[in-house]
Amino acid sequence: MKQFPTSQVLNNLPKQFFASLVKKVGEYIEAGYDVINLGQGNPDQATPQHIVKKMQEAAADPVNHKYSPFQGHRYLKQAAADFYQREYGVSINPDNEVAVLFGGKAGLVEIPQCLLNPGDTMLVPDPGYPDYLSGVALAKAEMVTMTLSETNHFLPNYSELPSEAIEKAKLMFLNYPNNPTGATATKEFFEETVRIANQHDICVVHDFAYGAIGFDGEKPLSFLQIDGAKEVGIEIYTLSKTYNMAGWRVGFAVGNSSVISAIELIQDHLYCSIFGGIQEAAREALTGPQDCVADLNNLYEKRRNVLIDGLRSMGWDVTAPKGSFFAWLKVPAGLTSTEFADILLEQAHIAVAPGIAFGEQGEGYVRVGLLTSEERLGEAVRRISELEIFKK
């Protein structure tokens, strides 16, 4: 069989870290170990029934068997606008301020190609969601990282960025509630972001994937709630986490109309729009009963408490996440994040993601997903408390 060489663009794509984690965990499961997998970010709950039912009806309707209109159905854009008005008091024009996406990831990977030329500078958080790097590589952009440190509540400190980088930057990605750190943004931080973006002509893309998941009674802020935010950027919203629809692949971008039309243009060339049945179900999710969202938030908060309270009571000084479904835990002194993750897998049969997978500044932490039952999280705490390294 001939082996056709791949293009330079493909050769320059970052390594998909999670593929190797999945493989390693799979080997332990195959060997018969009862692995508690807290390593990935795949929601464990089912999509709410009323959304599934809408999809079943819509799948039977021949209207949805044709190509959907390019750029998506207007009713879904209207639903996204209604959702932003209801949840955040933000007014969005469905006709030019919403782009329908095949999940948030698709939008995040497309945007650098929409706005940057090869060699242009883009600011990306470190630690951060690894798929941001895929978009950087496909656009052949220059990436400058913004450190998220615990001392600054995992928010970038713009005054610490090299002035040349901020001058040159054309695009910035942010993500709160944050993956992997579980931090949330403050109004002041977003206000400063709008100021910086205006001053330096930077387009801000706020990834609001965990927008629905905030703890201790605090609803996470939408970037678009800040005065002037729509002038300088967009927000990416996904139904994957809010409605447990990760497998359905549907989300949307909202905000600055020039960026929205750039996304729609690239998507016109890449795809036809999403299956109409999924678009009807997405409308139902966004505009139908919302008790499921409050229930899900409570479920994650209870799980967070089991994990964090349990680890604290065994003497591990950990920080509680304020949102998202991840806890970001400092590894015991003297170990790298990979060494500690290996110890957890090999000795306690618990899978976690080493912080280094999220960037250099992730070293020294592991990310733990709250994506299993309270009982299993309690069992994870019990197994961790029995490890030799915590007995010293």
Ligand X SMILES: Cc1ncc(COP(=O)(O)O)c(C=O)c1O
Summarize as ranges the residues that interact with ligand X (CB under 6 A): 41, 103-105, 129, 175, 179, 207, 209, 238, 240, 246, 251
Strand partners for 354: 366
Nearest approach in angstroms of CB 66 to ligand X is 25
Nearest approach in angstroms of CB 278 to ligand X is 13
Nearer to ligand X, 97 or 110 (CB): 110
Nearest approach in angstroms of CB 129 to ligand X is 4
Nearest approach in angstroms of CB 385 to ligand X is 29
Nearer to ligand X, 97 or 207 (CB): 207
Nearer to ligand X, 200 or 284 (CB): 284
Mention every residue, 6+ apart, whose C-beta is less than 8 A from residue 245. Answer: 47, 51, 239, 281, 282, 285
Nearer to ligand X, 39 or 41 (CB): 41
Residues counted in the chain: 392
Cα–Cα dist 323/182, whole Å: 5
Name the residue among 188, 297, 193, 183 with its Cα closest to residue 235. Answer: 193
Nearest approach in angstroms of CB 4 to ligand X is 29
Nearest approach in angstroms of CB 97 to ligand X is 19
Task: Describe the crossing of helices 104-115 and 257-270 by its angle, rounded to 10 degrees.
Answer: 100
- Angle among Cα 164, 168, 171 to the nearest 5 degrees reads 130
Nearest approach in angstroms of CB 208 to ligand X is 9
Say which residue the tokens 């069989």 belong to: 1
Nearer to ligand X, 175 or 273 (CB): 175
Name the residue among 94, 66, 113, 75 with its Cα closest to residue 265. Answer: 113
Nearest approach in angstroms of CB 179 to ligand X is 4
Nearest approach in angstroms of CB 47 to ligand X is 13
The dihedral built from the CA positions of residue 256, 261, 267 and 273, taken in this order, carries a sign that is positive
Nearer to ligand X, 41 or 310 (CB): 41
Cα–Cα dist 123/364, whole Å: 22
How far is CA 292 from its chain centroid? Answer: 20
Query: Would you say 261 and 96 are in contact if contact means Cβ atoms under 8 Å apart?
Result: yes
Nearer to ligand X, 206 or 349 (CB): 206
Nearest approach in angstroms of CB 65 to ligand X is 25
